Structure 1
Amino acid sequence: MAIKHLRTAFASQYQPGQPARLSTGEALAEPGGDYESLHKQMKRLFNSKPGKKYGRFSDDIGESPFGSWLKDYLEDKQSFSSLTDRLFGQWQELLTGCQEEFQGHLMIVHEALADAEMVYLLILETDSAMRFDGNQALDATDVLSLSRLNLAMRIELDDWLGNNSGDNYLTLLHGRGTGEPGELFIRLAGFTNQVDVEKETLTFLDAVEAFAKTSEPEKAGEVRTKAYEFCKEQHALGEPVEIGALSEYLDESAPQRFQEFAGKNTELPESGVIHPDHRKVKKLVRIAGSGGGMSVSFSSDLVNQAVYYDRDKDALTITRLPKALREQLQRYLEAREE
C-alpha cells in the first residue's frame, strides 16, 4: 500500500473569540481501501491546481515547529500519533485566535512510493447533500467534497532530507478566498516562499522562444509545441520542469543542446529545475487577446497560413473559418437582412 500512516481531525470555529472545537481520529497504519482512493483523488486535485507556490520550512521553529516535529518522527524519535497530536493541538490553538468562521478536516498522509516518499497536509472541505433516512424522511447531510481543494501542502522527503533540490522541497496550494484560515494553515505548515514563479515563467518562455528562433522556420513551431507539451505533462504530475529532461525531450539526437543554450542565454536556477506557470506557458502555442467586445484565440502555427496580420493597418485577416463560426455568422447576417 502507498500510505504508510494517515490521520484526520475535524476542527471548527463558529464563534470567533471562543475556543475552537477539535475531534481527532485514530492514527492509522497502512489503512488501504477507501483511504487510498480518497488520497488519490486529493492528489489529482492538488496536481491539477494552477498557481502553486514552492519553498521550504521556516527557520522560526518557535512560530512554526511542524518541520522539527516531522523530522523527529522520521528519525523515530516520536511516533506518528505523537506527531499528529502536536500538529492537531497547534491547529486548534491557531483557530481559537481566528476571527473568521471555519470548519474542515485536516488530514496528514505519509505516502511511500517506489521512488519517493512524501507527506501531505490537506484541508478537506464538505458539500451539502440530501438523503432519505431509515423512515424515508428527507434529511440534509454533509459529505466530503471530491472536487474542491484549496489548502494543501506536499513535502518531498527525499529532497528535504537529502537536500537534492535546494530549498524548494515544499509545494503549497493556497487558494483564493481562504482568508484568515488560509494564512493560519501556512503558519501551521511552516511554509516560507523561495521561488518567484512569475520570474521563472518569463525565464522559461524567453529561453524557449530564443531557442526556437535558432531553428529552421518550419521547426520553430515544433520546438514551441514540444516545450509546451512537456510543461503540461509535468504540471499534470505535479512536478516542476527539469531543464536537462526538457532538453532531451526537445532533441533526442542532441540532448544537451537546449540546456547549454539556455544556460548561456538565460539566468537559470543553479538546481536546473524551474517552476513555470503552465497557464502562461500556453502562450508558446496560442495567441489570444480580448477587449472592446471582442475575444480572439488561435494557434500560433496559423500565423501567415490562415491568420494574417497587417501591421500598417493594424488589421487581422482570418481565412479557413471554423465551421461553427461560419454558420453563426451566416445565420446572424440572414437574420439582419430579414
Structure 2
Amino acid sequence: MNLSLDNSVVHHIFQDPDGNIGLRLAPEPLQVKLEVELLLEELTKVYNAKPAKGYASFVSPDDPRFAQEEGAEPVPLPEFPQLLDARLQDKVEFVEFSQQVARLLRNELEHYQFLESGFLLLAEYKQTADRYLLVAFVPVKDGVMVSPDLSVDRSSQLDITKVQLAARVNLSDYQTQMAAGHYISFIKGRTGRKTAEFFLDFLGCAERVNAKKQTEQLVQSVQALIRDESVSPELAKDIRKDVYDYCGEQWNAGEQVRLSDIDERMQAKGAPSVTEFAQARGLDMAEEFPAERTSLRKLMKFQGQGGGLSLAFEQDMLGERVQYDPRTDTLTIVGTPPNLRDQLRRFYGEDS
C-alpha cells in the first residue's frame, strides 16, 4: 500500500466503575515505526473494505440548520471543523489538536450516553497525491498474551475488524474544495442510525451524497440501455462487465465514478452513451459520485431470497440456461450445480 505516515496518536476513552466516561490523553505522538505503519495499513484496509460508506462535508454558517428564528439563541458552529482549520493553518501542533478532538469526543459520548470503551486514533498520512486525516474509534477486546518469560497473561487488544465509528477527511480536497460535497467519507455500519448521527455531529458534518442511490441509478440506466437499444447478448455481457470492473477499480482506489469515463469506454465498444441515454429519459444522474459496492453486483447477477428459497445466477444465463415467464412467475433452470445435483439425486435415491 502506497501510504506515507506523517503523524499518529492514540488516546484512551474508558468507562469508570461509577459509569462515568474517563479520558487518558497521550502526551506525544506515536513514533513512526514498523508496528505503527502496520497498524495504520491494517486499519485502512478494514476501512476501505467496508461496503457501505457515507459521503459528507462540513456544515457552514449558511447551512439551514443555523438559520435563527426571531428571539432564539444562536446555534453554535461545530467545533471539529474549527479545530481542523487551526491545525491546517499550523496554529496548533498535532498532539494538541488530537487532545482537543479527544475531549470533544468524550463530551459527545456523554451527551449521547454512548457508553463504550475504546481508543481514539488520529492519523495524518499521504496516499498517492492526496493528504488524509483518519479519525477512528477503535473498540477493544480481551485477549491472552505470552510474556517474554513465557507466562500467560490477559491483555486488552485493539479490535480493528469491529471498527464502526471511523471517518476519513481528504485534506487535499477539503482545502481546494475540489469535491465540495464529499471530501469526507465515513462508515455506515450496523450500529444504528442514532449512532451514525452522533458521529456526524461529533465531526460537524452532514451527509451530502447518497452513493447507494447514485450507483443503483447507474445500474438501472445501463440495464435499460442494453434492453431498449437492442444490444446483442455478447456486447451486453461485455458492457456490464466493463462498467462493473471500472466502478470496482474506482471503489478500491477511493476515487469517484465519472460518467464521462464510462461513456468513453462504452463508445470504444460502439455502444451508446449512458449520459445521453439517461438525459433523453429525464433520469437525474450526477456526473461524479462514489460507487457503492453492494449495488454494483446487480450489474452481474440476479439474486434474491424469501419464503425459504434463495437464488442467484449470472445475468448472461437468462434466456439460455435460465428461462423466466413473467406471466406465471415461473423460473426454469436447465442444469444444476454439481453439489446441489448430488444432494437431490441422493434424496430421490438415484445414487445409493
Same fold (TM over 0.5): yes
TM bracket, shorter-chain basis: 0.7 to 0.9
Q: Which moved more, 1:189-198 or 1:132-141?
A: 132-141
Conserved 8 A contact 1:20-1:93: no
Letter in 2 for 1:268: M
Structure 1 Cα separation of the partners of residues 188 and 23 of structure 2: 23
Conserved 8 A contact 2:120-2:137: yes
| Matching residue of 1:54 | 55
1:250-293 Cα deviation digits (max 9, x unpaired): 44467993444445543222xx2123422122111111122222
| Matching residue of 1:204 | 218
Structure 1 residues 236 and 114: alpha-carbon distance in aligned structure 2, compared to 1, 3 A threshold: closer
Task: Tell me by how many angstroms 1:237 deviates.
Answer: 2.8
Confirm or deny that 1:217 pairs with 2:252.
Answer: no
2:261 alignment partner, one of 239, 245, 248: 245
Conserved 8 A contact 1:241-1:275: yes
TM-score (norm 1): 0.87
| Matching residue of 1:33 | 34
Structure 2 Cα separation of the partners of residues 132 and 27 of structure 1: 27
Confirm or deny that 1:129 pairs with 2:143.
Answer: yes
1:170 alignment partner, one of 184, 194, 198: 184
Aligned residue runs from structure 1 range 302-317, under 5 A:
302-317=317-332
Letter in 2 for 1:195: V
Q: Structure 2: 5+ residue runs without aligned partners?
A: 62-74
Aligned residue runs from structure 1 range 161-310, under 5 A:
161-177=175-191, 183-213=197-227, 214=229, 215-252=231-268, 257-265=273-281, 266-269=283-286, 272-310=287-325
1:95-149 Cα deviation digits (max 9, x unpaired): 3334242111111111123411111111112222123456755422111124222
Conserved 8 A contact 1:99-1:180: no
Conserved 8 A contact 1:16-1:98: no
Task: Tell me by how many angstroms 1:19 deviates.
Answer: 4.7
Confirm or deny that 1:108 pairs with 2:122.
Answer: yes
Conserved 8 A contact 1:150-1:178: no
Conserved 8 A contact 2:13-2:21: no
Conserved 8 A contact 1:48-1:235: no
Conserved 8 A contact 1:212-1:224: no
Structure 1 residues 192 and 175: alpha-carbon distance in aligned structure 2, compared to 1, 3 A threshold: same
1:65 alignment partner, one of 66, 74, 79: 79
Conserved 8 A contact 1:54-1:168: yes
Conserved 8 A contact 1:244-1:256: no
* Secondary structure at 2:76 match in 1: coil
Structure 2 Cα separation of the partners of residues 3 and 134 of structure 1: 30
Structure 2 Cα separation of the partners of residues 132 and 28 of structure 1: 24
Letter in 2 for 1:58: V
Task: Tell me by how many angstroms 1:169 deviates.
Answer: 0.9
Task: Tell me by how many angstroms 1:304 deviates.
Answer: 1.4
RMSD of Structure 2 on Structure 1 (CA):
2.8
Task: Tell me by how many angstroms 1:49 deviates.
Answer: 0.7
Structure 1 residues 329 and 43: alpha-carbon distance in aligned structure 2, compared to 1, 3 A threshold: same
Structure 1 residues 238 and 47: alpha-carbon distance in aligned structure 2, compared to 1, 3 A threshold: farther
Aligned residues: 334
Letter in 2 for 1:305: E
1:8 alignment partner, one of 7, 10, 15: 10
Structure 2 Cα separation of the partners of residues 98 and 325 of structure 1: 50
Structure 1 residues 89 and 313: alpha-carbon distance in aligned structure 2, compared to 1, 3 A threshold: closer
Letter in 1 for 2:225: F
Structure 2 Cα separation of the partners of residues 175 and 36 of structure 1: 25
Task: Tell me by how many angstroms 1:12 deviates.
Answer: 1.2
* Secondary structure at 2:103 match in 1: helix
Q: Which moved more, 1:42-51 or 1:232-241?
A: 232-241
TM-score (norm 2): 0.84
| Matching residue of 2:22 | 20
